[in-house]
């Protein structure tokens, strides 16, 4: 029998469709730096963190960079993304699932988006009060697939990692959840399809957050 006490949600591609905002903000700063990559290149790195994505983009473009350059571009990217929150929408079923979970389990948001982005968008979408804890990229040294963001979330919640379940849309996120010794629900609402996610052996595979009863049964009944 599962003893789930906390549910930890990823943000980008899991609770919210942030693809346009993320891609536009990255392409703006990368383009100005003379680095050209495809939108898909960026989409498939959503969740690993801003600096890491910029770094991998420069490597793809065979361009030189240093830490100061990465810091400056990351700061500019976040500023642009903050200005694009109006084009971000919650996925269907997200708010309803959060509402159903509230009071039945502790809830955390664990995202590799910057704190400025999160602090602006959560109130706009009227979901701030659902989260007991919010952990952003600003508090994390090692991006996914390192489990740090989930371990920090569990620690702040005061819950043993083995009593947590993570909801994720990326292979990096599923790997991070597994490395943190947490259960994982995978949803193909981001850049990765069902087959790619299933290869990572999530504990539950769903098609969308609208499958509320399946999700709740897994969390609270171990089914």
CATH number, domain with residue 12: 3.40.50.1000
Q: Minimal CA–CA distance to 166: which of 193, 148, 191?
A: 148
| 135 and 56 assigned to the same domain | no
124 located within any domain:
yes
**Residue 92, CB half-sphere, CA atoms under 13 Å: how many?**
4
| 98 and 206 assigned to the same domain | yes
1 located within any domain:
no
| 164 and 202 assigned to the same domain | yes
- Give the pTM: 0.92
Q: Which tens digits make up the pLDDT trace of 142-165?
A: 999 999 999 999 999 999 999 999
The count of structural domains within the chain is: 2
| 58 and 134 assigned to the same domain | no
128 located within any domain:
yes
> If you search the block for the tokens 């659902």, which residue do you land on?
130
Q: What is the pLDDT of residue 221?
A: 87
Give the catalytic positions in this structure.
Answer: 10, 12
The dihedral formed by the CA atoms of 112, 117, 123 and 127, expressed in degrees to the nearest 10 = -20
Q: What is the pLDDT along the chain (223 residues), one digit of tens a residue?
A: 568 999 999 999 999 999 999 999 999 999 999 999 999 999 999 888 899 999 999 999 999 999 999 999 999 999 999 999 999 999 999 999 999 999 999 999 999 999 999 999 999 999 999 999 999 999 999 999 999 999 999 999 999 999 999 999 999 999 999 999 999 999 999 999 999 999 999 999 999 999 999 999 999 987 5
Residue 80: give the domain boundaries. Answer: 19-86
Terminal-to-terminal C-alpha distance of the chain: 9
| 97 and 79 assigned to the same domain | no
């Amino acid at each position: 029998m599962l003893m789930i006490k906390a549910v930890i949600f990823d943000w980008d591609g899991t609770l919210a469709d942030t693809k346009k905002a993320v891609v536009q903000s990255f392409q703006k700063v990368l383009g100005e730096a003379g680095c050209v990559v495809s939108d898909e290149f960026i989409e498939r790195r959503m969740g690993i963190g801003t600096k890491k994505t910029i770094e991998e983009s420069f490597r793809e473009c065979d361009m030189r960079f240093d830490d100061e350059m990465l810091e400056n571009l990351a700061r500019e990217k976040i500023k642009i993304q903050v200005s694009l929150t109006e084009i971000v929408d919650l996925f269907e079923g997200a708010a309803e699932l959060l509402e159903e979970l509230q009071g039945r389990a502790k809830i955390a948001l664990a995202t590799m988006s910057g704190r400025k982005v999160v602090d602006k968008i959560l109130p706009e979408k009227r979901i701030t009060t659902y989260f007991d804890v919010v952990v952003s990229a600003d508090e994390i040294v090692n991006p996914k697939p390192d489990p740090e963001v989930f371990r920090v979330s569990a620690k702040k919640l005061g819950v043993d990692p083995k009593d947590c379940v993570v909801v994720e849309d990326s292979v990096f996120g599923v790997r991070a959840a597994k490395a943190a010794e947490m259960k994982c629900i995978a949803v193909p609402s981001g850049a990765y399809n069902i087959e790619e996610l299933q290869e990572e052996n999530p504990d539950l595979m769903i098609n969308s957050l609208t499958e509320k009863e399946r999700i709740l049964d897994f969390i609270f009944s171990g089914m």
